[in-house]
Structure 1
Amino acid sequence: MSLRAWIGRKIGLSDSKFWAAFSGRESYAGKFVTADAALQLATVWACVRLTAQAVSMLPLQLFERTSGGRVPAVSHPLTDIIAESPNDEMTGLELWEAVTAWLCVNGNAYAEKAFMGNRLVSLNLIAADQMQVTRNTDGELVYRFNDRGLPEQLPASKIFHVKGFGFGGDLGLSPIRFGVQTFGSAIATDETAGKIFDGGMMPAGVLTADQVIDDPQREALTKIMQSFAGSRNAGKMMVLEAGLKYQQLSLDPETTQMLETRRFHVEEICRWFGTPPIIVGHAAQGQTMWGTGVEALLIQWLTTGLNPFLSRIERRIRKQLLTPEERGRFYAEFNREGLLQADSAAKAAFLSTMVQNGLMGRIEARAKLNLPATPPNGDRLTVQTNLTFLDQLGAAAAPAARTEPKP
């Protein structure tokens, strides 16, 4: 829960959720880790942003099962809500981008379902850090959150709740919460590097004197030395007197930049979000940013990184946005082929294979390229035997079988 969710409520020392929201969870590195603090790390921001954008850019469509397969359910009211306009303020892309971002950071995403009679008319996103999920005395789920400063409580039937990875409980698990040691160490490392750069890349030093100095002299020396500290004072000439000597402590550049530590943190953070480091622009030692190896990593990310998000959203739409009577006929599906849009060679090879092997008609293939339909017979399936029609394979082969060579 965020601090906003506690406005107007009594807070005691036993309210651990409030104190966690106020200061985050403390890591062994001495840093309090919250979602806002973690997102200030470039790797966390990149993992969340790239995953959310990749999921939201895929077309989402509601389909109806028919005896001949399936057809787009363009007339169903839910189609416009999930694909184009979930509410008065958001587009479909913005909704699923926000849902995926909350899943990455919080492990849960919520939206309030608004009805007109019995018909769903909109989905209104609720910030996941404002939500508190409990069960009442009857064991039913209850969702509590703040609506413009006022406490609100809704039953599970009024909430669209997408859960991330978990062990089957009421909530998904938050990577930020469980990865507090990794994120805390990365925050501490960035802070240390920043302070060194703020000091003009000048490490600490030791000031020695030939005699014992009293407290007023120590305070005066401290003020004098502070005027030479910081990046803004780099290059100033220091004048020492009364036998004072300054000895600078050595600090090599590799230690100053903490390159290996920061490289390790990039890889560790990527593990928490299931994102290959190459996706966020981090190549391992000896690895290039191009080639078949990187292509295999991208495919792996699409399979094990993005597909779980897509499947979770699809199944929650079917379970919570369709009536029990509709679940047998309708279902939502992301068009995963949208991931091939930027790779023209891969898309051309895919469509060519589907058409030449009789798995897709030319009209279907042209539709995927946003091209107009072809003349008649463009929707008939063909194979590579002179590209004849699939239902005429036997007729085409029969004359050849009856032809006999002349003596």
Structure 2
Amino acid sequence: MTNQQDLEKQRRLTLQDGKAWAGAFGTSNHAGKSVNLNTALQLSTVWACIRLTAQAVSCLPLSVFEKQANDDRVKVGNDENIAEVICDSPNQDQTPLEFWETKVAWMLATGNAYSEKVESTRRLLALQPIGSHDCHPVRRNDGELVYRVHDRGKTEDLPREKIFHLKGFGFGGDVGLSPIRFGAQTFGSAIAIEEASGRLFGAGLQASGVISATQRLDKGQREGIQEIMETFVGSSNAGKLMVLEAGLEYHRLALSPVDAQMLENHRFSIEEMCRWFGVPPIIIGHAAQGQTMWGSGVEQILLAWLTLGIDPICDRIEARIQKQLIRPTGNRRRYAEFNREALLQMDSTAKAAFLSTMTQNGLMTRNEGRAKLNLPRMDGGDVLTAQTNLAPLDKLGASTDGNSARAALRAWLSDQQDERTSK
């Protein structure tokens, strides 16, 4: 009975449990709007930033490699347990793309992503995802780190060895920082602007004009005009033709400065929210003032996003796989790595230039290049070649019969030219 009471006590929200209150009811802000994951995701900018970043990372192929004695790297097949889990089948329900998309989405939104490690005799069998709102690390009085998991009405403390924890940006400590929580002022203002603009356009005729009369109207006439005007109010009645009589005149009003400023603030809030997620506005389809949606400038912005936004996330995941999944097995020669070259998959020009450079400078064989295009291997395609007549690397600088003949012919022609000149 005592254990049950202790369990119920742990499940209750306390005044000191700020994270639980923030997740359930949102973080306070000057706009007076509740800001939590649910309300933030109703903003198209937040949805697009999280979706595009999570998709960009999850679509990259992930592989496990092992360092050899001569510093070569050999790819580990997916028949190995860790490679099979993280690269082929993380759990019974998800594909690798869905799993990593989920992890990156949670990390971007809350700063943390959790998965329970399912093991048997120290062999990793699966990674079961846990919602970030249902798990959080706790430091006990003795300094031991445990993870408190809420699952189907029950609360359980799991040891750190049972949890695979991805942490976002932070100042150290046991958790990453949530942009939605710390950006509550920005997101709260954006929610307020969305609601205000919705009311503005939902009111229809509210800011479009006024009716004036040349004579005083009695109560019945006012009520009659009011009934007529109500048939033109609302977005569903936009475009109807209004007929005025008895000296009534309609005066059109321009958009008030307050409303105009609200629309400008709406544009600015998009850029502000993008800053919290490190995504350039052009990536989500929002062009800044005077910026076009195409050209070399946008291409450079995209490269900057891949370098400063996508690559650091990949590095975080690779480091956590190394620390929490591979290192406990004792095999420190292995490591996981995303194939960043997959980002060139849809750019045929960039991909062709990349493969051409790699094969013509002795960094990749032609069969390795063909494999990246899903083409079959060819005989003689496993030799490294360089730009000098595409000769094998061990033949660079060596004299061949053809080179000797060409050199002799050039010398003979030079001698003949000298003789004619001397005569």
Give your verdict on TM over 0.5.
Answer: yes
In 1, the alpha carbon distance for the partners of 2:273 and 2:300 equals 21
1:36 aligns with 2:38: yes
| 2:361 aligns with one of 357, 362, 366 | 357
Given that 1:193 and 1:257 are in contact with CA atoms closer than 8 Å, whether structure 2 keeps it comes out as no
1:382 aligns with 2:385: yes
Given that 2:136 and 2:148 are in contact with CA atoms closer than 8 Å, whether structure 1 keeps it comes out as yes
Q: 2:374 — aligned with what?
A: 370
In 1, the alpha carbon distance for the partners of 2:358 and 2:9 equals 58
Q: 2:160 — aligned with what?
A: 156
The residue type paired with residue 348 of structure 1 is: A
Q: 1:25 — aligned with what?
A: 27
Q: 2:4 — aligned with what?
A: none
In 2, the alpha carbon distance for the partners of 1:307 and 1:325 equals 26
| 1:392 aligns with one of 395, 414, 417 | 395
1:97 aligns with 2:88: no
Given that 2:209 and 2:253 are in contact with CA atoms closer than 8 Å, whether structure 1 keeps it comes out as yes
The residue type paired with residue 329 of structure 1 is: R
In 2, the alpha carbon distance for the partners of 1:176 and 1:195 equals 25
Change (3 A) 1:246 1:368: closer
How far residue 11 of structure 1 moved from its aligned partner, in angstroms, is: 3.3
Change (3 A) 1:265 1:348: same
Moved more, 184-193 or 133-142: 133-142
Query: Where does 1:4-403 land on structure 2 (aligned, <5 Å)?
Result: 9-68=11-70, 69-74=72-77, 75-203=79-207, 230-231=234-235, 251-252=255-256, 255=259, 258-324=262-328, 326-375=330-379, 377-396=380-399, 400=403
Moved more, 49-58 or 26-35: 26-35
Q: 2:3 — aligned with what?
A: none
How far residue 258 of structure 1 moved from its aligned partner, in angstroms, is: 3.4
Given that 2:23 and 2:37 are in contact with CA atoms closer than 8 Å, whether structure 1 keeps it comes out as no
The residue type paired with residue 177 of structure 2 is: L
How far residue 238 of structure 1 moved from its aligned partner, in angstroms, is: 11
Query: CA deviation digits over 1:39-86, x for unaligned, max 9?
Result: 111111110000000000000000111134111110421111111110
In 2, the alpha carbon distance for the partners of 1:280 and 1:201 equals 32
Query: CA deviation digits over 1:176-224, x for unaligned, max 9?
Result: 011111111110000000011111142399999x99x9xxxxxx99x98
Unaligned runs of 5+ in 2: 1-6, 416-423
Query: CA deviation digits over 1:234-276, x for unaligned, max 9?
Result: 669899xxxxx99997634993683311110111111111001
The residue type paired with residue 255 of structure 1 is: D
Query: CA deviation digits over 1:350-369, x for unaligned, max 9?
Result: 00001111111101111111
The residue type paired with residue 151 of structure 1 is: T
RMSD of aligned Cα (Å): 3.5
SS in 2 for 1:113: strand
Q: 2:420 — aligned with what?
A: none
Given that 2:145 and 2:159 are in contact with CA atoms closer than 8 Å, whether structure 1 keeps it comes out as yes
Given that 1:318 and 1:327 are in contact with CA atoms closer than 8 Å, whether structure 2 keeps it comes out as no
Per the normalisation by structure 2, the TM-score is 0.83
Unaligned runs of 5+ in 1: 214-219, 240-244
Change (3 A) 1:399 1:183: same
How far residue 399 of structure 1 moved from its aligned partner, in angstroms, is: 8.0
Given that 1:207 and 1:246 are in contact with CA atoms closer than 8 Å, whether structure 2 keeps it comes out as yes
Q: State percent identity of aligned pairs.
A: 54
The residue type paired with residue 23 of structure 2 is: A
How far residue 398 of structure 1 moved from its aligned partner, in angstroms, is: 8.9
In 2, the alpha carbon distance for the partners of 1:42 and 1:144 equals 32
The residue type paired with residue 75 of structure 2 is: P
Higher helix share: 2
Change (3 A) 1:202 1:384: same
The residue type paired with residue 58 of structure 2 is: S
SS in 2 for 1:394: coil
Given that 2:326 and 2:332 are in contact with CA atoms closer than 8 Å, whether structure 1 keeps it comes out as no
How far residue 127 of structure 1 moved from its aligned partner, in angstroms, is: 0.4
How far residue 93 of structure 1 moved from its aligned partner, in angstroms, is: 0.5
Q: 1:217 — aligned with what?
A: none
In 2, the alpha carbon distance for the partners of 1:19 and 1:400 equals 80
SS in 2 for 1:298: helix
Change (3 A) 1:310 1:226: farther
Change (3 A) 1:286 1:45: same
In 2, the alpha carbon distance for the partners of 1:156 and 1:149 equals 21
Count matched residues. 394
